[in-house]
Structure 1
Amino acid sequence: MNTETLLYIILSGVIALLLALFQYKYRSKTKNIFLTFLRFLSLFAIFILLVNPKIETKQTYIQKPSLAIVLDNSNSINYFKQETEVKQLLSEVKSRADLSRKFNIDYFTFGKTLSKSDSLTFSEKQSNISDVFTQLQQIYTNQTAPTILVTDGNQTFGSDYSFVSKNYNQVVYPVVVGDTTAHSDLKIQQLNTNKYAYLKNKFPVEAIVVYHGQKNISTTLTVKQGDAVIFTKPLSFSKENTSDVVTFYLPANKVGVQTYKVHVNAITGEKNTLNNTKNFAVEVIDEKTKVAIVSSITHPDIGAIKKSIETNEQRQCDIISPGEFIARVNDYQLAILYQPDSKFKPIINALKQTPINTFIIAGTKTNWQLLNSENLGFKHDINNQTEAFQAQLNPSYSNFIIEDLAFSSFPPLKGVFGDISFEKNHSILLYKQIGNVITESPLLVTTENNGARNAVLLGENIWQWRAQSYLNSSSFNTFDNFTGKLIQYLASKKRKDRLVLDYNSFYEGSTQVILKAQYFNKNYEFDAREKLHIRLTNKKTQETFEYPLVLKNNYFEVNLSNLPPADYDFTVKTANSNLSKSASFKILAYNIEQQFLNADVTKLSQIATNSKGNLFFSSNYKLLFNNLLKDERFKPIQKTTKTTLPLINWKYLLAFIVFCLSLEWFIRKYKGLI
């Protein structure tokens, strides 16, 4: 409290005393010292509130360090038969009162993601150890939190955790569970193949076979389709020659999903034979969508669009000039006209005579006078000004199922300033966002009239969207899936169905099995009031399953990841309109968590060294607890918090004033002074 405030308080006391004496010594006939004292207290408290001094309080407390117990909940722990050891370690931690006294203990489990829990099922189908360090770094920022990581160290998903852990600012103590003995092992490390093949063609398959051992061995790689052997090759390995890449071609003779099994014969004494076999499937189709990107200029967008389209092997994309396109116009199902200029006039005239759908991408070099004059169903304001537009997804768009890719985080596209008007029926997929203002002006529009489907994008630099999508999700897949659905919609000439399904023909056993659907009323408007359900039948066992589909934005969805690997026929039905659609898919039998033979001691030892921790094994984890209790780096910290509170916020003083004034009034009333 400073000197000035102290002087004000003293002055307040003097004034309060003078006023109290004036009230009861000079004005009142009865001189009552107690009433004078009460009036003094009331006035002094009121003056103190006017001065409003600040009261400082200090609170000292002891902050214990945190201890993060992170347990591997993946299926590999169960496969290594280490579930008892992990549960025993968890039980030991909970029973150690000395650990609880020194640390605030937090329990986590992880599979594909990290969860704050101590419930162990060992049923997770994937392991993402890198996510553990990423999430814990956010949780324990500016804290001391040694971390016990109980795992076999085998990761099936995510970034290399030995590098990600370098950004984790805590001491890590890995506890290794699983077999650490080196066994001879032969496995198919990786299988590379296309998802699609074309009828009466041959498709390539690449198998990477790896051997761990000291002896010279011989084996045979065999490929089967059903019970028929369609390819074999003898292989030899030694201590020096530990891997072989086998490339072969298989015929695509039948339309539909074809399943194959690649197998290498086990060697003598091999402990893990599950990783000797891998299944894969290829969908054989009898047609290919051909897309032309027509442009008279060079731009990064063109290459990015081509790459995005051709991630789907069903599609072929050619980059051609306007003059070349005229001669080949009938070779394509879709023409992407990139920033049309005066050279595109013959192309536009030719497209009017052919049933080819178009996708116009406009930008700063687009000739809008030409496009406005060709009666394409839209007109744009003409000026020389440009502007940057960010995108905002229209959640009501229903021509096909689309999810938000975090468009608001994407860099803005550059286009011509002005409004565009459409003469025909159109659907806005993306709105323009200028700064923080979401407008009702379209950025990406699709039209559908008399069987013709077209689209217009009013901005260039879409290559930056693809790059930003990779930064957001560490993969181009989300943006490429968005492009693929748009291209599939534009390239198709089929009449719009009232019940539309979105699913894959086959799923690997370690991935989520998600099926989506859309329902439209008779006016082809998305109807969220309808109820959908799916009925599935296992082709082999004839077992049936039935589930409802859950509404999500502008589509329905069901998660079928709990189904066992098999071939399934399914039917999606509507409850009220009696519409249905049937198809089939296959779930491949593959458990990636059972492909490992040993715990990865090398990487776990590396993260222990980098974090200045120590590596322990499940057989001696009790030594770890003793080390934690003795480690001087993890001492409790005494902290002091200083709080400054204005006196006017102190409610007790107000209650004191009311009490004094009330007591004074009652005494005066009792004595007849009022």
Structure 2
Amino acid sequence: MQAETLVYTILAGILALFIAGFHYKLNKKSMSKQNMLFLFLRFVTIFSVLLLLINPKLEQITLSTIKPNLVIAVDNSSSVKYLRQYNAVNNLVEKLTSNKSLNYKFNIETYTLGEKLKASNSFDFNEKQTNIQGAFGQLSQIYKQTISPTILITDGNQTYGSSYEFEYNNYKQPIYSVILGDTVNHTDLKIQQLNVNKYAYLKNQFPVETILVYNGNTNVNSRFVVTSGNTVVHSETIYFTKQNNSKVINFNLPANSVGVHAYKALLEPLDNEKNTINNFKNFAIEVIDQKTKTALVSDFIHPDLGVLKKSIESNEQRSVTLLNSSTILNQINDFQIVIIYQPNSKFNQLYEALNSENKNRFTIIGTKTDLNFLNKVNKTFTYEISNQTETYQAVLNKNYAPFIIEDINFESFPPLNTHYGAASFSIPFETILNKTINGISKKDPLLATFETNGRRETVLFGENIWQWRAQSYLNTKSFHQFDNFIGKLIQYTASNKQKSRLNIEYESFYNGNTNVIIKAEFFDKNYVFDTRETLNISVRNVISNETNSFPFILNNTNYQVDLSSLPASDYEFTVSASKENISKSGNFKILEYNVEEQFLNADVTKLQQLATNSQGQSFFIDNTENLIETLLGDNRFVTIQKSNKNSLSLIDWKYLLIIIALSLSLEWFLRKYNGLI
């Protein structure tokens, strides 16, 4: 308590006593017990009121100590197991976490890094990918405001993600690299990279590009062979020298039959090669017999046109031709779907041709759309005319039934421009996205689909969708999610298949280094997404004839099952609902490939550069004796003492009010009882 407050409290007591005495002592020669009691009650009342005004407080200072963190990030990928370093890693982590001096100085936190960063102190070394850069990105958020030296135990071989050797600029913590693996350079041939499209078209040829790399000091030759089953489809002899140690090979293969075709590329190993796993790569291609052709019709230039073309053509199965309302009339039958961008009266003949051919269409309405014309030629919906424009954001309708839609964070996308008002449909329709203004849903469709007279239509009530693709890239660092969303819209609109209560989404083949995820949606008889159903998948290995069953897991707007544990092979599957007699079947292929087994040596250069630039140190796994001493002796990592000053009220105002009320009430009652009032 401050001296000033103490003085005020003493003065308040004296003043309260003086006022109470003035009422009950003045002009009285002696005080009766009754008057003494009245004086005391009056004193309590006045003193409590004055205390309430003074509100005396006590300052409390508490001291706390904050130890620095010691972050141990362990590479949990299968490359550690392949390089036979798992025992050394386990021993080192046990040595660090059990050291009493380290535990006294640091808060030790252990993480595993693979495809994602996870807080864990157990390691199985089975993860298929390594993303060191991503792990540092997550750690920088966790330990942004603390002292957290980091021990990175890894071979340094990253399978995806940006270069990590410069992550010290973002992480800003000293990094101590513990390097795993063999640092001796061995003679090695490997297929560094193989590039091939995912799809090819029947009776065409598809290109294959292969990058071959040699590590050695002598001149060698080998044979590069590509096989399909037992058939050799391409082969050639390759020569390498110490100076000319890489080759780029380009060749074409025929696409003679529809379906998924698997190939194996092999660079025949040398006699003294230590690692032969990186000498081959499996790849596959799906041959299709048709290509979805899309006409994108507009009478003016807009950024949306380029974005739509790029997004649609990101899938090799689709092509887009930009046309205007007059040039399309003579070639309308060449396209499976027509995208009509902001139509006006010049589109009258186009609409007549589309209706005559009953052609599927995708209409985009914006600020330059002639609504009077559109309402006249269109028989399925009308749009309110207000001569005003508005911007609407989007929110996903999770009960959309016709096909699976992933929420790609639509609510973060910029608003689309369009006419103010709402659309009125004369036929049943399905809403994909609803309009929102300032987070308030308008219950009006922003993006909708419907079927009528045997054709499908999609309508988007807004322009500037190019901003959505840009925002999607900012959110995910990739255009894939947005392009996939547009691709699904085109695929649905171009098809005339009837909608199903059970929809399945899967790939025809999966590379061995990717997750094998199959998604499904199940709807009730009213085509509302049913979260109560239990879906199961039965998977049969075509080669071994082994059958396994897996349950689907509900994941927000769809069901998912992860089949990444299955070995490389051909598979047939059936997805079935347990409560109803509904099922769907399909097949896929898993290619054999483990990217973590492609590395023979640790990436010493990057790990040493990372440690040096972050003001840490690098150690080899066989020479870590000085690591603990280095951490304990570094004066940068000290315990910080913090003081917190809290101001606490000595008296709770609620209790003071109760005391005041009681003392006044008691005084009044006693005076009344004794006839003094």
TM-score range, shorter chain: over 0.9
5+ residue gaps, structure 2, are 671-677
From the superposition, tell whether residues 220 and 35 of structure 1 become closer, same or farther in structure 2 (CA, over 3 Å). farther
**Separation (CA, whole Å) in 1 of partners of 2:299 and 2:289:** 33
Q: Which residue of 1 aligns with 2:554?
A: 551
Q: CA deviation at 1:21?
A: 6.5
SS of the residue corresponding to residue 100 of structure 1 reads helix
Greater shift in the superposed pair: 530-539 or 594-603: 530-539
TM-score, normalised to structure 1's length? 0.93
**Separation (CA, whole Å) in 1 of partners of 2:652 and 2:241:** 82
**Separation (CA, whole Å) in 2 of partners of 1:427 and 1:356:** 19
- Percent identity reads 51
Q: CA deviation at 1:83?
A: 0.5
Q: CA deviation at 1:483?
A: 0.7
Query: For the aligned residues, what is the CA RMSD?
Result: 2.7
Q: Please, which of 350, 354, 357 is the counterpart of residue 353 of structure 2?
A: 350
SS of the residue corresponding to residue 88 of structure 1 reads helix
**Separation (CA, whole Å) in 2 of partners of 1:525 and 1:2:** 68
From the superposition, tell whether residues 103 and 44 of structure 1 become closer, same or farther in structure 2 (CA, over 3 Å). farther
Q: CA deviation at 1:31?
A: 10
Q: Which residue of 2 aligns with 1:618?
A: 621
SS of the residue corresponding to residue 287 of structure 2 reads strand
From the superposition, tell whether residues 188 and 654 of structure 1 become closer, same or farther in structure 2 (CA, over 3 Å). farther
**Separation (CA, whole Å) in 1 of partners of 2:253 and 2:61:** 78
Q: Is the Cα contact below 8 Å between 2:431 and 2:447 reproduced in 1? A: yes
**Separation (CA, whole Å) in 1 of partners of 2:111 and 2:410:** 33
SS of the residue corresponding to residue 231 of structure 1 reads strand
SS of the residue corresponding to residue 401 of structure 1 reads coil
Q: Which residue of 2 aligns with 1:486?
A: 489
The answer to whether 1:427 aligns with 2:401 is no
Q: Please, which of 55, 58, 67 is the counterpart of residue 55 of structure 1?
A: 58
Q: CA deviation at 1:340?
A: 1.1
TM-score, normalised to structure 2's length? 0.92
5+ residue gaps, structure 1, are 669-674
Q: Is the Cα contact below 8 Å between 1:166 and 1:607 reproduced in 2? A: no
Which residue identity is paired with 1:10?
I
Q: Which residue of 2 aligns with 1:10?
A: 10
Q: Is the Cα contact below 8 Å between 1:397 and 1:554 reproduced in 2? A: no
Q: CA deviation at 1:498?
A: 3.1
CA-to-aligned-CA distance 1:514-560 (integer Å, 9 cap, x gap): 11222344454444433321111111111111122233344322221
Greater shift in the superposed pair: 617-626 or 591-600: 617-626
Q: CA deviation at 1:254?
A: 1.8
Q: Is the Cα contact below 8 Å between 1:290 and 1:317 reproduced in 2? A: yes
Q: Is the Cα contact below 8 Å between 2:519 and 2:561 reproduced in 1? A: yes
Q: Please, which of 111, 114, 117 is the counterpart of residue 111 of structure 1?
A: 114
Q: Which residue of 1 aligns with 2:630?
A: 627
Q: Which residue of 1 aligns with 2:124?
A: 121
Which residue identity is paired with 1:181?
V
Which residue identity is paired with 1:365?
K
CA-to-aligned-CA distance 1:141-178 (integer Å, 9 cap, x gap): 22111111111111112222123332111111111111
Counting only pairs closer than 5 Å after superposition, residues 72-471 of structure 1 correspond to structure 2 as: 72-471=75-474
Q: CA deviation at 1:436?
A: 2.5
CA-to-aligned-CA distance 1:221-264 (integer Å, 9 cap, x gap): 10000111110011111121121111111111121111000010
The answer to whether 1:594 aligns with 2:586 is no
The answer to whether 1:504 aligns with 2:507 is yes
SS of the residue corresponding to residue 366 of structure 1 reads coil
Greater shift in the superposed pair: 8-17 or 100-109: 8-17
Q: CA deviation at 1:10?
A: 2.3
CA-to-aligned-CA distance 1:80-114 (integer Å, 9 cap, x gap): 11001111111111221111111111111111111
**Separation (CA, whole Å) in 2 of partners of 1:171 and 1:405:** 36
Q: Is the Cα contact below 8 Å between 2:2 and 2:58 reproduced in 1? A: no
CA-to-aligned-CA distance 1:606-634 (integer Å, 9 cap, x gap): 11122111111112223111011111111
Which residue identity is paired with 2:191?
I
**Separation (CA, whole Å) in 1 of partners of 2:256 and 2:62:** 80
Q: Is the Cα contact below 8 Å between 1:24 and 1:30 reproduced in 2? A: no
Which residue identity is paired with 2:274?
K
**Separation (CA, whole Å) in 2 of partners of 1:583 and 1:404:** 25
Q: CA deviation at 1:441?
A: 1.6
Aligned length: 662
Q: Is the Cα contact below 8 Å between 2:392 and 2:417 reproduced in 1? A: yes
**Separation (CA, whole Å) in 2 of partners of 1:596 and 1:236:** 22
Q: Is the Cα contact below 8 Å between 1:16 and 1:44 reproduced in 2? A: yes
**Separation (CA, whole Å) in 2 of partners of 1:507 and 1:368:** 46
Q: CA deviation at 1:24?
A: 9.8
Runs of 4+ with deviation above 6 angstroms:
1-4, 19-27, 31-43, 653-658
**Separation (CA, whole Å) in 1 of partners of 2:181 and 2:544:** 35
SS of the residue corresponding to residue 70 of structure 1 reads strand
**Separation (CA, whole Å) in 1 of partners of 2:67 and 2:36:** 55
Q: CA deviation at 1:300?
A: 1.2
SS of the residue corresponding to residue 328 of structure 2 reads helix
From the superposition, tell whether residues 657 and 91 of structure 1 become closer, same or farther in structure 2 (CA, over 3 Å). farther
Greater shift in the superposed pair: 273-282 or 575-584: 575-584
SS of the residue corresponding to residue 384 of structure 1 reads coil
**Separation (CA, whole Å) in 2 of partners of 1:612 and 1:656:** 63
Q: CA deviation at 1:310?
A: 0.9
